[in-house]
Chains A and B, each alone.
Chain A
Amino acid sequence: MRNFLAAALIALGLLALPVPIVAQDTDDPLQALLQENAALVANASRQTVQTVLDALIASDLPTVPAFLARWQARDVYQRSSDGLFVLVEDEDADPLTLLTLSTGQVVGTATSRELDHLRPNRGVQDLIGAALVQFQLGADDPAERTRALDNIARTPAASHLPMIADMVANETDPALRDTAQWLLTRLSISYGQDDAVRVSAIESLSGDLRVEARAALNPLLTTRTRVAETLPDNINIARVLTPGSDALSMTDAYAMLVDAGLAPPRVTATARRDALIANISDGFVGGAPVHTLETDAARMDAYDALVVAGLAPPTISDAEAATVIAAHVFFEQYNEASAIVTTAAADTVAAINARVTALEMVDLSLDGLSLASIYFLAAIGLAITFGVMGVINMAHGEFIMMGAYTGYLVQSLVPDYTVSIIIALPLAFAVTFGAGVAMERSIIRWLYHRPLETLLATFGISIALQQIVRQIFGAQARPFTPPDWLAGSLDFNDVVSISYIRIAIFGLGVIFFIVLWLILNKTRLGLEVRAVTQNPAMAASMGINPDRINMLTFGLGSGIAGIAGVAIGLFAQVTPELGTNYIVQSFMTVVVGGVGNIFGTLAGAGMIGFFQKGVEWLNPSNTLAAQTYMILFVILFIQFRPKGIIALKGRAAEM
């Protein structure tokens, strides 16, 4: 079918032969215009193509943008026989079917030998692109205009500046106008016609927190290190470097001199060694037996002998090198020539950085707050079992882990993430409350007078629980995904942001705190708990059943650990070791805060959380170091306040 068509077309072409082919398309004004500049189009170069582009733009023909796009894409051909500019229907066909530029009508066929393919080089393509952009910027379709702005943002050039300025003045779409305004600022910084324009563009970015703003300014402040005999005038110098300082070591300074051809290279230890090896003859080098050259001094002597014999380049002593270095001046020169511009840019960057630093402190505080709420959540259950009852429950971490696995199990049964969390929270409480009560009844109540031994027994429970969970669910992490409304983060600006899940954990911490405080201080149960923990015998004689109270208190602490586990499982990996990661920190939180009161736990969590984030800020790449210092800090802190931040006084302290 295709062959038949092609044959038919050839036949058509043959029929049309008598008529000059050029004539077919010369009534197209675009073709005519191109023919006028045929040489410049066919052999376009970066220097000359602009006149053609100007002529094309001046013609105001509606077909010009499409042609420019094809030209830039290397889709345009010229027929050798008569110089007609054409497109081809299918590049891979042979012979090629030729189409007119404007209307796309078939004008004939030709083999590839009869055509010149116009291949504008990269520079020409860029110029065509710049010319094209103004058509795209004026396009009716906003998507087309957006694309044009994107193109400019990717490859900005001085030629775009007036077009963007036009667009800012005329654009009706506010979002596009903002983008254009931003581009205008960027272009003005780089290509503004005079320093005043550039400086005002730079200063307009003052206080702009976007990374792009700094990215636009930083290129202005790039420098290169140079060396000269005297400090040259008329260049934009950033600073003069002192050799031997932190900014420029003596070695680097000498290396610069060598690179600049101002000094001969020094002989390094490696070079000396190579020179010695190269000159070994009969077990001797430089008059010394090879086996004696096992110290640096011996090698120096042998090398000096080689130098005397003219077999190696002379060494340059440190003093000689220092003299050469002292005779030259080392400086950093801005790549940007205008001192006014660089000064303005440096000031603006400094202002932005100051603001960013201040906001980073805010962000850091938010991070510290969220870490503190995680520690608080993990430790609050412990604050009850350990802080109030004095029971060291090493299985506390495993209760957290059980809470997280409850969340995972519920989620695997209830596919809706929101509903599953709402079910998981009370269920986790119920599960760990039950586990806590069972543990208290069967083990812990026999050990109230032997606190250190509860540690061993509960540690036994801890490793057994961990292994049982590993047997059931496997050692790999199980998925427990937060619902979509907890994904994302709340962004205040480019520096300060906090994820919703951290806000939720903070909220949960606040709720826990209030509820526990109310239970312990405003309910009958709380009163009885405090009575039993302070003096079980007296409480019993007042008609309180200490066994029941101990059981309920331990269950409450364990149940809270379970709820905390659901929250922690949302952002941490749900593995059998989940609890182990929190247990030591939780104990430290309670101890630092002060045993026996939930305000203490709050204070302890706050202090540890903020301290750790603070250290991380000083050394961001190393969270291990932050944890190490945090623990050292806790150890030292306990030396000075053995009873914690908030120490109980009076009888309550003598449990």
Chain B
Amino acid sequence: MERSFFARNPSVMIFIGMLGLFTLAITVMSEAYGTSAISTSLVKTLGMTLCLCLIALAMDLVWGYCGILSLGHFAFFGLGGYMIGMWIMYARTEAVIVTSLANAPLPPTPTELNDAIAVQIFGVVGGDSFPWMWAFSHSLTLQLMLVVLVPGLLALVFGWLAFRSRVTGVYLSILTQAMTLALSLYLFQNDTGLRGNNGLSGLQNIPGAEDIPQAVTSIWLLWASALALGLGYIAAAWIMSGKFGNVIRGIRDDEPRVRFLGYSVEGYKLFVFTVSAVIAGLAGALYYPQAGIINPDEIAPIASIYLAVWVAIGGRGRLYGAVIGAATVSLLSTWFTGGRAPDVNLGFYNIQWVDWWTVLLGLGFVLVTLFAPKGLGGLIDFVIRKDRA
């Protein structure tokens, strides 16, 4: 019983080790700090993939461990992205405006500065002043707090309402899907304060780092993403390893029985759901500075369904499964849709993967669901059992 947390969970050490090696390898091959073997855009793709792995981890917490199939996790992811995006847009626009007003005959007053920034940001949707939700956008600290608070609060309120009235299973899935649809429709409106369907753009230009080349900032963000993924993995493994984790798994397997044993099922579910939403928000906050743009389309229900599919393909109920699924499917998608996959000529028809990849992916979901319900992570069981035998 006195064995350390890491000894009890060998997969954590293995995972952290592999993540560290991966990060080191990318750094050594990067344009900024190494041999330039891989391009900056690939570094960004890999960094974004790490963020997707992190949200897959969050998804696995609620679905794989607690049995709540959330089809709205990208709402939290997107909100995290919007929160950090607001600071980036504000700070970057402020820098541009200050520079352009530097040669004005009179130094600008705070009001003039603020108005000019507002016009610059909201001119595209016909606005000229800051909506209330931008009240903290000048401060990185406050916006970083919002990255955690906003998705967390949304999950807390939504979860409290849903779990309290015992909405479970498919109904909960449909409700979460409705939540993310409502949020994306709300953000699509031009007058709701986040620039409607234009979204927030230019997020790859980190304020205060204008003079540092993208090659370097992209590596920094990759490091940050890797760090977040590593910490998230340890935290998730830690939460799920003890007695608390057993209760959570118990809820997944037989909710009424856990309730009859005297546990506050709703409280446990709410905690896991909220923690998961916060992790998703953090993942989004790291993802969008690498993607460069966020718009309401990112929050559309289909993104969250894909997330569930990644976790299912990777193998839910095991943290590395979620990571494997997200990394495999999203990297394969990038490769196939990027036009780099070779065409297959069938003689009578030339299969171009840019078009047919989606079909392959869809059929892949079906096959994995039917024949490999444990997902790709299940293959690892196979290997380990062989060793023990």
Interface residues of A (CB under 8 A from B): 273, 276-277, 280, 290-291, 293-296, 299, 386, 390, 392, 394, 443, 446-447, 450-453, 455-457, 459-468, 470-471, 580, 584, 587-588, 591, 622, 624-625, 627-628, 631-632, 634-636, 638-640, 642
Contact = CB atoms under 8 A, between A and B. Distances in A.
B373 A625 contact: no
B185 A631 contact: yes
Q: State the majority secondary structure of interface residues on A.
A: helix
Given A276-B106, A277-B105, A642 B171 contact: yes
A467 B354 CA distance: 11
B10 interface: no
Given A290-B106, A452-B170, 8 more contacts: A452-B173, A457-B369, A459-B309, A463-B358, A631-B185, A639-B162, A639-B167, A642-B165
Nearest to A394: B305
Contacts of B162: 638-639
A607 B161 CA distance: 21
A460 B185 contact: no
Contacts of B170: 386, 390, 392, 451-452, 455
Given A443-B370, A455-B69, A634 B312 contact: no
A456 B304 CA distance: 12
Contact of A280 (B105, B186, B302, B309): B105
Given A464-B358, A624-B188, A642-B165, A296 B365 contact: no
B303 interface: no
B355 A471 contact: yes
A291 B102 CA distance: 11
Contacts of A463: 358-359, 361-362
Interface in B333-363: 355-356, 358-359, 361-363
Most chain A C-beta atoms within 10 Å of own C-beta, residue among B361, B364, B366, B369: B369
Contact of A587 (B167, B174, B185): B174
A627 B185 contact: yes
A456 B356 contact: no
A628 B358 CA distance: 29
A453 B373 contact: yes
A454 to B, nearest CB: 8
A460 B182 contact: no
Contacts of A465: 362
Contacts of A584: 174, 177-178, 181, 301
Most chain A C-beta atoms within 10 Å of own C-beta, residue among B185, B188, B189: B185
A176 B356 CA distance: 66
Contacts of A466: 358
B308 A456 contact: yes
Contacts of A276: 106
A132 to B, nearest CB: 50
A392 B171 CA distance: 10
Given A587-B177, A635-B182, A273 B106 contact: yes
B175 interface: yes
B262 interface: no
B178 A635 contact: yes
A631 B106 contact: no
A584 B167 CA distance: 17
A640 B107 CA distance: 57
A27 to B, nearest CB: 73
B166 interface: yes
Contact of A446 (B106, B174, B312, B370): B370
Given A584-B177, A635-B175, A467 B359 contact: yes
A596 to B, nearest CB: 12
Given A457-B370, A460-B364, A640-B165, A290 B356 contact: no
B105 to A, nearest CB: 4
Given A452-B169, A460-B361, A467 B366 contact: no
Nearest to B105: A277
Interface in B354-389: 355-356, 358-359, 361-366, 369-370, 373
Contacts of B175: 591, 635, 638
B201 to A, nearest CB: 21
B109 interface: yes
Interface residues of B, number: 49
Contacts of B165: 638-640, 642
B108 A294 contact: yes
B177 A456 contact: no
Contacts of A452: 69, 169-170, 173
Contacts of A461: 362, 366
Contacts of A639: 161-162, 164-165, 167
Most chain B C-beta atoms within 10 Å of own C-beta, residue among A470, A624, A639, A642: A624
A635 B110 CA distance: 43
B114 to A, nearest CB: 12
Contacts of A447: 369-370
Nearest to B166: A642
B76 to A, nearest CB: 16
Interface in B149-196: 158, 161-162, 164-167, 169-171, 173-175, 177-179, 181-182, 185-186, 188-189
A205 to B, nearest CB: 38
Contact of A459 (B110, B167, B305, B373): B305
A451 B171 contact: no
B4 interface: no
Contacts of A467: 355-356, 358-359, 362
Contacts of B100: none
A463 B364 CA distance: 11
Most chain B C-beta atoms within 10 Å of own C-beta, residue among A276, A390, A587: A587
B173 A294 contact: no
A640 B361 CA distance: 39
Nearest to A644: B171
A441 to B, nearest CB: 13
Nearest to B358: A467
B191 to A, nearest CB: 8
28 contacts: A293-B109, A390-B170, A443-B366, A451-B169, A452-B169, A452-B170, A456-B308, A456-B365, A457-B366, A459-B309, A459-B365, A460-B366, A460-B369, A463-B359, A464-B358, A466-B358, A467-B356, A467-B358, A588-B178, A624-B186, A624-B188, A627-B182, A627-B185, A631-B179, A635-B161, A636-B161, A639-B167, A640-B165
A152 to B, nearest CB: 43
B356 A580 contact: no
A631 B176 CA distance: 11
Contact of B362 (A273, A462, A632): A462
Interface in B104-163: 105-111, 158, 161-162
Most chain B C-beta atoms within 10 Å of own C-beta, residue among A460, A466, A634, A635: A460
A299 B308 contact: no
Nearest to B184: A628
Nearest to B108: A294
B363 A455 contact: no
A462 B105 CA distance: 62
A631 B182 contact: yes
A326 B295 CA distance: 50
Nearest to B296: A624
A642 B106 CA distance: 63
B179 A635 contact: yes
A632 B362 CA distance: 30
